[in-house]
Amino acid sequence: PALGCFSDFTEMMRALGYPRLISMENFHTPNFMLVSEVLLWLVKRYEPQTDIPPDVETEQDRVFFIKAVAQFMATKAHIKLNTKKLYQADGYAVKELLKVTSVLYGAMNTKGVERADMSEEDSSKFKFDLGSKIADLKAARQLASEITSKGASLYDLLGKEVELREARTESIARPLEINEAEKMMKIAIDCVLEQVQKTKDMLNNVALDEANLEAKIEKRKLELERSQKRLQTLQSVRPAFMDEYEKIEEQLQKQYSSYLEKFRNLTYMEQLLDDHRQTEQEMFEEAANMLRLMQNRLKEEEQHLLKSGNNDDSDVEIQEDEGSDSEVEDRQIMKQRTTTETLLQG
């Protein structure tokens, strides 16, 4: 095989993303393991869901593997591979592998070019189209709901198709009678004419209702104009009692101002009276407290005098009779009264 084919193959495999490096020396001698690995990788690259067994240990397994790969490429990718050259697994197998790699490489290049050319335009169009299609989102949702409902009804109708098919075949197989068909057509025509007459009657009723509504509207307009005119006349006319009312209102204003002044003075005088009463109450309480203190002090002095009098009597020998004792007590009582009178006067 030519050296150019091998270089193209290695370059395409590298571009497709094959994980291993392939050199020309790998195919100087038959290397079925590498060829099977490349074939399986290309098949998975073309369709990841394939179920080709990767066992190539025995001769039967290898033959089955090559046949399965060739059949898959022929049916899915329409690529005809030479199974003998693939089984040789040498330089001639590279040409067969190049058929598959060239298809995948061309698809990758065309896809990349399309993406590069349309990237900018698609981005700009997407921005503008998105803004223009937001208004259609509600309609799209409504159509989706209608599609689901119609699909459900269609499913129900298709479920009844078995019964309807028999009735349809019976009606088709039955010979057509002209009299009966004419009779049915007359009935259908009468129904249509009746519906047309009903529609005309409804239109006439609508016209009458419209005329009645217009007459009512005109009547209401005239009533509104009369009411507005009456309101204007009532606003322009001045009642006879308005002069007297205004005079009384002025007097009421004066009376109210005098009432406010008197009420203010009254409250002020009441406040002064309360203050005066409070001061008198405080003075009275203070005098009562002073009197209470004086009484307590007099009691203490009386007790002190009594104690001192008893001590004097115990020191002096008792030589007088009972008359002298009574005179001493009377003198003491008189002294106490004079002292209390002087304290009270003070």
Only one residue has tokens 């009533």, namely 223
302 token code pair: 């009386």
Tell me what pLDDT residue 335 has.
56
Tell me what pLDDT residue 283 has.
94
DSSP 317: -
> How many other CB atoms are found less than 10 A from the CB of residue 60?
9
Tell me what pLDDT residue 159 has.
85
240 token code pair: 């006879």
105 token code pair: 């490489």
Tell me what pLDDT residue 55 has.
78
Closest CA to 5 of 95, 81, 82: 95
For residue 103, give every residue at least 6 positions away whose Cβ sits within 8 Å of its Cβ, in sequence order, or none.
77, 79
212 token code pair: 């009645």
Q: Is residue 41 exposed (0-12), middle (13-18) or buried (19+ Cβ within 10 Å)?
A: middle
Cα 169 from Cα 318, distance rounded (Å):
167
Tell me what pLDDT residue 286 has.
93
> How many other CB atoms are found less than 10 A from the CB of residue 36?
21
pLDDT along the chain (346 residues), means of 10: 65 81 77 85 82 81 86 82 82 82 80 53 48 72 88 88 84 78 90 93 88 93 94 82 89 95 95 94 94 93 84 51 50 56 50
Which class in CATH covers the domain with range 1-108? mainly alpha
Closest CA to 337 of 310, 303, 304, 298: 298
Tell me what pLDDT residue 330 has.
56
Tell me what pLDDT residue 128 has.
47
Cα 22 from Cα 39, distance rounded (Å):
14
Tell me what pLDDT residue 249 has.
93
Which amino acid, residue 292? R
DSSP 176: P
Domain limits, the chain? 1-108, 275-305
Q: Are 91 and 27 in contact (CB under 8 A)?
A: yes
Tell me what pLDDT residue 132 has.
58
97 token code pair: 């592998």
